[in-house]
Copies of this chain bind each other. A is one copy, B any other.
Amino acid sequence: MSDLPASADFIEASRVNGTAVYDTDGQHLGHIEDVVLGKRDGNVKYAVLSMGGFLGIGEEYHPIPWSVLKYDERQGGYVIGVPIDQLKTAPHYGAADNPRWGDPAYGRSIDDYYGVMSGGAFV
């Protein structure tokens, strides 16, 4: 197995935004709306998956731990091993909501949700 070409190493956050997200069956779930950074350590902590809606109306935003997303060169998008039915019950917010990044419990609720999942579907 060879390394990815060096060109795959770096990417502007503005180019990550808009990238398609699929489930493991290849079903299109939505796209990356934003990435959320840790200010202190400079790590990408969450990607915000935008699902549903039309022209921004009715969209739901699901913050997903970055480590849960795997980039698939073939599909040109990220793959998440969470069925769409289970995503619906995951932490999410609407376009009019402010995600509570200031509340440590909010981040934990996301981590916990996918942490439970990661014991199952993910490696």
Contacts and interface: CB of A to CB of B under 8 A. Distances in A.
Interface of A: 4-14, 16-17, 34-40, 42-46, 48, 66-67, 71, 101-104, 107
B35 A12 contact: yes
A13 B101 CA distance: 13
Query: How many copies altogether?
Result: 2
B10 A34 contact: no
A13 B6 CA distance: 23
Given A16-B37, A37-B35, A71-B39, A45 B101 contact: no
A103 B6 contact: yes
B37 A13 contact: yes
A109 to B, nearest CB: 13
